[in-house]
Amino acid sequence: MANRQPKIHHRHNTARSPPLNPLSSPPHLTDLRIQSHSFGDSDCGMSSSSKLLIRGGTVVNAHHQEVADVYVEDGIVVSVKPNIQVHDDATVIDATGKYVMPGGIDPHTHLAMEFMGTVTVDDFFSGQAAALAGGTTMHIDFVIPVNGSLTAGFEAYKIKAKDSCMDYGLHMAITKLDESVARDMEVMVEERGINSFKFFLAYKDAFMISDELFLRGLKKCKSLGALAMVHAENGDAVAEGQKRMMELGITGPEGHALSRPPELEGEATGRAIRLASFVNTPLYVVHVMSIDALDEIAKAKRSGQRVIGEPVISGLMLDDSKLWDPDFTTASMYVMSPPIRKSGHNRALQAALTTGVLQLHQAKFLLFTALLDDTQESRLHCALLELVGTDHCTFNSTQKAFGIDDFRKIPNGVNGIEERMHLLWDSMVESGMISVTDYVRITSTECARIFNIYPRKGAILAGSDADIIVLNPNSTFELSATSHHSRSDTNVYEGRKGKGKVEVTIAGGRVVWQHGELNVVPGSGRYIEMPPFGHLFDGIDKADTSYLSSLNAPVKRGKAAT
Ligand SMILES: NC(=O)NCCC(=O)O
Ligand SMILES: [Zn+2]
């Protein structure tokens, strides 16, 4: 099937949308130490001098909610308080009875990614358009180096991202590590606005690196104040599992799940956590899909280690049953890595996102029966997992069919960038598992904090970027490939209905989604530089000093007797 074109009204950057001068941040933002610049031509449209009032909604931040108006000028939130009066030239959006929240930030996407001999159907423009229609206003994609070169990879992503219609940041994958790559890591952090590097313990003979190189990478990350991220599956064991399935004649999509069971994710997660502890640097585990990995993260957190676990929306919402569907097109849609797990893992992951006492009992039941006693339980009043990504990485059914005779050739990845906000609202807020403030925290604020761009992003405060959604809790949604904005011809959430609808999305002060229509400007999205030494690094030096003084070594000894 041909790639679908997104249902979008394009607007071009025009004189009505003058370029944003990255150096002209309003005074109240100057202390945030954040810069942005446009990758594309200088005609960046996000700084239109529009005035916008969002009236009468419940404004929700991660720490607080109140009924208030939000006034926006030139893409920046100017004021949040009740009864703001504006002149006639301001556009007014009535949000009475609705929630006004920071736009979602997706920490994990793959747009225009070359992978497994093909390229994702969603590029930066179509993926971002889909995101905006679903209430996400910023995402962080992964630069894949070109022949191991970070600089070449970065330049390639600059070109891929030039038609961006919303703000984005970049992580950098490390697929080999020598002196030149180590130097490039410095350049990326010091000059290119990258503060996170991802290491793959999976994808043998492609992206996978050895423990030796991973250790070296952890040390380098620590010295740069960059967050080490890890894809945690044991790549050697996965290769063995794949061989075993093929020998058993299991060539279909179910072979994908069977060849890389949760133990292999648990093992690699535990290994990565221990190595990060050995180096004493924070670790971010991407796409946590299993109880096995969750257990490792829980243990590390209880011992005080700085580990962030990122579940993705597919792992929270789906189970592996579709991989056994007799129809290849249906089954292959669900192939991603680590695999979507058996039912139970998804509920455990959801429980791990909650903080309430009731939910802790659930979590204990699901996860910690063997690990947690009653006294320890009372200390666990924080969520085990603090944010949700998507790993949006779309291939259409024609591409998935590359693996019709061999599951190892099915391009790995599922959709989610457009669906994450709706699915989380319906399944977790509507069900009472989390509060509305928690929702803002896990969909937006925590991501901004971890990647050191808060409160410019992830908040509706005076001085924050005007990335805002209006969600109607009484409205409903239905997800389908026939109506989504991704270019993919399939949707792993096909037919799913729920409560709570993002009715308006505002990106950089511009209304880009309203009345079911997208109005986006290619080239208007900005590259958001992310500074190093985020809050996860606070106190790391002190812990190093305590470690050194605890060694009680070297022991001073007299000369040995002759
Ligand atoms: N997750 C997946 O299946 N595809 C994207 C690449 C990755 O994140 O491992
Ligand atoms: Zn990914």
What does the H/E/C string look like for 528-553? Answer: ECCCCCCHHHCCHHHHHHHHHHHCCC
Q: What does the block give as tokens for 456?
A: 């410019």
Nearest CA to ligand 1 atom 8: 391
CA-231 nearest atom, ligand 1 = 9
Report pLDDT for 32: 23
Is 285 strand, coil or helix?
strand
Query: How does pLDDT run across 430-458, given as a tens digit for each residue?
Result: 999 999 999 999 999 999 999 999 999 99
The strand pairing partners of 227, in sequence order, are: 196
CA-200 nearest atom, ligand 1 = 9
Ligand lying closest to the C-alpha of residue 106: 2
Report pLDDT for 559: 80
Q: Tell me the backbone φ, ψ of residue 437, rounded to 5 degrees.
A: -65, -40
pTM value > 0.95: no
Report pLDDT for 382: 67
Ligand lying closest to the C-alpha of residue 141: 2
Report pLDDT for 383: 83
Sign of CA dihedral 60, 65, 71, 77: negative
Rounded distance from Cα 2 to ligand 2 centre (Å): 24
Count of CB atoms within 10 A of residue 215's CB? Answer: 17
For the chain, list residues with pLDDT below 70.
1-49, 356-382, 560-562
Between helix 291-302 and helix 345-352 the angle, nearest 10°, is: 30
Rounded distance from Cα 114 to ligand 1 centre (Å): 11
CB 420 within 8 A of CB 512: no
Rounded distance from Cα 525 to ligand 1 centre (Å): 24
Rounded distance from Cα 201 to ligand 2 centre (Å): 13
Residue 411 amino acid letter: P
Nearest to 293 by CA among 285, 282, 301, 303: 285
Rounded Cα distance, 535 and 174, in Å: 23
Report pLDDT for 359: 43
What CATH class is the domain 9-101+474-527?
Answer: mainly beta
| Residue ranges lining ligand 1, Cβ < 6 Å | 110, 231, 336-337, 391, 393, 412-413
Report pLDDT for 9: 58
> What CATH number has the domain spanning 107-460+530-540?
3.20.20.140
Rounded Cα distance, 456 and 463, in Å: 7
H/E run at residue 497? strand 497-507
ipTM score = 0.98
Domain boundaries, the chain: 9-101+474-527, 107-460+530-540
Nearest CA to ligand 1 atom 7: 337
Ligand lying closest to the C-alpha of residue 336: 1
Ligand lying closest to the C-alpha of residue 412: 1
Report pLDDT for 46: 34
Nearest CA to ligand 1 atom 4: 413
CB proximity list for 69: less than 8 A, separation 6 or greater:
53, 54, 55, 56, 79, 80, 81, 82, 83, 84
